[in-house]
Amino acid sequence: MTQRDAWRRWLPTLPVLDWGRTYNRHTLTSDAVAALIVTIMLIPQSLAYAMLAGLPPEVGLYASVAPLLAYAVFGSSRVLAVGPVAVVSLMTAAAIGTHAVPGSPQYWAAAMTLALLSGLMLTLMGVLRLGFLANFLSHPVISGFISASGLLIAASQLKTLLGVPVESGNFFSTLWGVVTQAAHVHGLTLGVGLACLAFLLWVRKGFKPLLVAWGLGPRLADMLAKAGPVLAIGVTAGLTWALDWQSQGVRVVGHVPQGLPPLTWPTWDPSLWRELWAPALLISVVGFVESVSVGQTLAAKRRQRIEPDQELVALGASNLSAAFTGGYPVTGGFARSVVNFDAGAQTPAAGVMTAAGILLASLLLTPALYFLPQATLAATIVVAVLSLVDFGVLRRTWAYSKADFSAVLATLVVTLGWGVEPGLVVGVAVSLGLYLFRTSRPHIAEVGLVQGTEHFRNVLRHKVLVSPRLLSLRVDESLYFANSRTLEDRINDAVAQRPALVHVVLQCSAINDIDASALESLEAIDARLKDAGVVLHLSEVKGPVMDRLRHTAFLKELRGQVFLTHYKAVCTLAPEIV
């Protein structure tokens, strides 16, 4: 690596310089088509997710402009579409719901502060190359968390769909609140909501085949099917205006200010920062994990690659820009990125054009949203989030690994019962705890020689040759502090049971590391074996492990030998069984 390259590793890189150089008319056309489709999809989503976060609907539009521009400059994925997403909106509501009344200016200010904190954290993590921290969110925890969040979000929309007032709470109390209010359901609201739900579900499955059957090209049919939510919005808003449903009690979105995203300044209140840093960190990590998974999956399809640490910087910049333009925390969304990819987006310039589309919408279309029933948006959200709910993960992890199943279940139950933040924290704690527990009880097999071969197998499973003078143990785990005592116990037991024992050989083929505690345990084992008149040997020690052991007092004082193969050890120490 040259000096200049070494420097570059620590400087922020600008992927825009990369793809910008080769931009041409062909990529422009592809990007423009993709941008149009994503814009149509993003308008109702932005409004709906902002309301899910407890914010005025226009905030969703604001959060879909500047962040897209920031991502286009810094992002390493060619097709990721950032903006408001369901889970992060829910987490935003959970984080700031205790600090201010939803809808109040303080609430909005807190949402911008959350975006600022999240942006700072993501950028810092990117500069410090801490992207690997997100790896500690295991797939089962993410699955459980996303499913539970989907259910929480769907439950929170029930009150809007039914037109009844219900206190927000955990999943079960929200459902119970809806049940107790069943008598006060507003019929017309429910009718609008159910009709939208049914239509949107049908659009997902049945609309595109129908359009194709009518003779449309599959690409156009797909694009029209994606516009389904826009159709629902137009029709229900039109009906509400024409039939004056508002005076019959259907709640509408109301006045949405027309104009550019405002230039804002988040709150610099230290006490608010202190209270929001923990949720901001969780939002950052969840947003990063969601974004990077989508990005990697899509990049791989074109043999491109994304840089996780660069993605952190890009998401950081997106969130910082959201904080200063009246937005709230954003990340790369799954559905819209897939749409962007399928629609043929070639570069992040598609994101720039999408931002321009949203900007136009917030300048021109907002008056038309006045009569839009809130139930329509609720139906949009429910349809979107129900696709996140996947109980199959419970069955699959149960079949594959009880530890992973426990992590999913704990995350799911705690998220539903206590909320998103405790759910994530408990999920991570359970999965780390179970991993440590598993590695703390390593599989240690006594092995014997398979007659006529040089292979060794577990004495409990196979008919093999052993000698009462020799004990061969194979340790199937790296040795570290949490499991080294298990090895001590195992050897102590074996020695106490075998009066004729003279040699113990540890087969180290699966030991990838030996830490200082395990080294002390090996010293203790050797010392105890010496007291008992038994000699300790090693076999098949890996190169890197041997490099480290070479200069230790343990190896210098070891009376036994280090054999290259276990077979050689047995030939030397117990030739009678070979």
Under the criterion CB under 8 A, does residue 363 sit at the interface with a copy of itself?
Answer: no
- Bridge partners, 454 (sequence order): none
With CB under 8 A as the contact rule, the residue among 139, 204, 469, 568 that binds a copy of itself is 139
- Bridge partners, 474 (sequence order): 445, 507
With CB under 8 A as the contact rule, the residue among 202, 400, 454, 578 that binds a copy of itself is 400
With CB under 8 A as the contact rule, the residue among 7, 104, 132, 210 that binds a copy of itself is 132
Min separation Cβ 286 and a copy of itself, Å: 15
C-alpha to C-alpha distances, 313 to 127, 309, 366, 478, 518, nearest whole angstrom: 7, 7, 32, 35, 39
Give the residue with the Cβ less far from a copy of itself, 58 or 290: 290
Give the residue with the Cβ less far from a copy of itself, 358 or 525: 525
Distance from C-alpha of 355 to C-alpha of 47, rounded to nearest angstrom: 15
Min separation Cβ 453 and a copy of itself, Å: 14
- Bridge partners, 479 (sequence order): 514
Under the criterion CB under 8 A, does residue 403 sit at the interface with a copy of itself?
Answer: yes
At 321 the three-state DSSP class reads helix
Size of the site for a copy of itself (CB under 8 A): 73
Min separation Cβ 122 and a copy of itself, Å: 17
- Which residues from 472-511 bind a copy of itself, rule CB under 8 A? 476-478, 480-486, 488-489, 492-493, 495-496, 509-510
Distance from C-alpha of 381 to C-alpha of 542, rounded to nearest angstrom: 54
Answer for the pair 541, 563: CB distance below 8 angstroms, yes or no: no
- Which residues from 520-549 bind a copy of itself, rule CB under 8 A? 520-521, 524, 527-529, 531-532, 542, 544, 548
Under the criterion CB under 8 A, does residue 251 sit at the interface with a copy of itself?
Answer: no
The kind and range of the H/E element at 281 are helix 270-301
Under the criterion CB under 8 A, does residue 401 sit at the interface with a copy of itself?
Answer: yes
Answer for the pair 255, 233: CB distance below 8 angstroms, yes or no: no
Give the residue with the Cβ less far from a copy of itself, 139 or 204: 139
- Which residues from 438-477 bind a copy of itself, rule CB under 8 A? 438-443, 476-477
Question: How is residue 555 written in tokens?
Answer: 């190896």
> How many Cβ atoms from other residues are within 10 Å of residue 452's Cβ?
7
Q: By CB under 8 A, which span of 58-66, 267-275, 321-329, 395-403 interacts with a copy of itself?
A: 395-403
- Which residues from 288-327 bind a copy of itself, rule CB under 8 A? 296-297, 299-301, 303-305, 308
Q: Where are the alpha helices (DSSP H) in 97-227?
A: 105-127, 139-162, 171-180, 187-202, 208-213, 218-226
Under the criterion CB under 8 A, does residue 432 sit at the interface with a copy of itself?
Answer: yes
Min separation Cβ 14 and a copy of itself, Å: 19
Under the criterion CB under 8 A, does residue 135 sit at the interface with a copy of itself?
Answer: yes
Give the residue with the Cβ less far from a copy of itself, 7 or 132: 132
Question: How is residue 366 written in tokens?
Answer: 């907002």
- Bridge partners, 448 (sequence order): 457
Under the criterion CB under 8 A, does residue 565 sit at the interface with a copy of itself?
Answer: no
Answer for the pair 200, 231: CB distance below 8 angstroms, yes or no: no
Min separation Cβ 51 and a copy of itself, Å: 33
Distance from C-alpha of 391 to C-alpha of 389, rounded to nearest angstrom: 6
Under the criterion CB under 8 A, does residue 550 sit at the interface with a copy of itself?
Answer: no
Min separation Cβ 130 and a copy of itself, Å: 11
Q: By CB under 8 A, which span of 165-173, 233-241, 380-388, 434-442 interacts with a copy of itself?
A: 434-442
DSSP 458-515: ETTTS--B-BTTEEEEEE-S-B-HHHHHHHHHHHHHHHHH-TT--EEEEE-TT---B-
